[in-house]
Structure 1
Amino acid sequence: MASAIKTRTTATRLLTAVAVLSGLVLSAAQAQAATSPLPAEAPAAVATALPVVNMEATVLAAQIDPRRADSTQTPGAHDSVLAVEQALQARGLLDASRVDGYFGTTTVTAYAAFQRSLGYTGLDANGLPGVTSLTALGQGRFTLTRTIGAGAKVQRDGYTVDTRTQNMLTEAERLAGIHLTLDQGSYNPGGDPTSAGTHDGGGVVDINVDGMSSTTRTAVAKALRQVGFAAWVRSPTQGNWPWHIHAAAISDTDLATQAQNQTGDYYLGFNGLANHGADDGPRIPIQTWEEYQRTH
């Protein structure tokens, strides 16, 4: 009996010793863990979002700003134009003093130089941003939103126009309730000297008004303006031409320089002629084709 008790006592003491030693080992491990440096974390990747350039606003500013008598900026275009100018400055094409969000003649000249650096010539290097050149300029600097383009060239009434212009004319016909026939199309350099180069590029047409009353002519000009044309009824008293309606598609990226100037003048309340007279057409809120589409 005494032997059995002694055996149990010895076993109990052994177990107790093991427990104590285990506790010491655990405490030592905990202490080591507490004092050891934590593994270094990999540095978090910092993603810097690129500025976003609104192409619609930029192209609009490139038409209006050069025609202003002061340095007033086109509403809604400042940030986008500024990003474009910063990219031009980084390429040594624009002085820092001109990086201001105003797409004036100096910025137009700088942008044309960039277009030429891409191999463009003629109308493709006239300083009006196109989606291809703007994308190239923005590499690593900005991204694009609300991109616009003239589209493919198509035939209408035996004349060449671009797809964007064709779609605009079709919608104007629907609004006016009358079929529109062209007297002159686009991409017609030197075709009519009285047009002063406005038809050299895309986006510009002359509408035949034979048989139209004065009221109908005005209604057609209004419909054209509604869908995004700078449009005026032209009379023989204004120049060496017959009655017609002259229409330039605002923000068509193929506009000749002269047509760009006309659309800029339209926004500023002028008639688009060399005399810089007051706008004599139906006054409605001015909008582009893209703005019209978003609301209809």
Structure 2
Amino acid sequence: MTRGDAKSVRKDYGLPDHGCASVTFEDNMPNDITLDAAVRSAVEEFLAVGIPSPQVDALLLAAHVLGIGRGELAARLVSGDTLTREQLDRLAGYVARRVAREPLQHITGESGFRQLVLDIGPGAFVPRPETELLVQMVVDAVLASGQASPRVIDLGTGSGAIALAVASEVPHANVWAVEKSPEARAWAAHNNEKYGGIVTLLAGDLATTELLLGDEVGTMDVVVSNPPYIPDDAQPRDPEVRLYDPAVALFGGADGLDVIRQVASVAARIIAPGGLVAIEHGELQGPAVRKILADAGWRNAATHPDLTTRDRYTTAVWSA
């Protein structure tokens, strides 16, 4: 990348320009590299391999190395702070991993989700920003119900993101979460402990949900799920998803709807009269999901858009 290209990068991504050239992460680098130069170098490396959010990733990795927040990082970038050799080596290692398309969340070990900071790593599906809107639908429904102790269950909780977000934002709710993968469940258990054990975590799959709930069957006010919904013969476009997210959290059978069919059926057996089911799915699957829910006895099925206007969520009401 030329000097002119580097200046363009700084302009496009809002990085300060102190008149110094960018650097590359090499073993013979000097020991007095500025934080600004190191971040700019990371941005350029990420741009070269098509990382979708090069500036954000570079800044977050630098902040992680330094153990500081984005605000303090911005101040240090402007003031011309330098990195120690140890800090530079750590950043270089993180940049190399990100260039190889390892998810940023695996490198830093955490993932922001609504007001939570979840610990995350291999074996668990990395929570997505669009799922935050699914949580908002659940929170709104629970609060609107006016119930003193609403009951919510998250089917296939993964890292615990949905269940923990609901439980933390609606403290008077009783929240359960079901997960069959031992690896993902370990992350969910860790995050649940981190936030004070506010969720009842159950080890099992959809087929055993009723057995796990016992006397609570038929009492759930909301059933929520972000199940696997990619068709088995489809390949996720992003390497971070294709190479690192667990396949069991991605693929949902020949048409991608097998697990959603199970969710619709199981939810109908554990829901209370008047209860709500809320499911995340692919943007073209809304009509099929509505039919699945109707066939399972659900009523008033409606599909809702995400913030980019893609149809990503379907809700329905149980009125047996």
TM-score under structure 2 length normalisation: 0.23
Structure having the higher strand fraction is 2
TM-score under structure 1 length normalisation: 0.24
Which has the larger Rg? 1
* Larger RCO (CA under 8 A, 6+ residues apart): 1
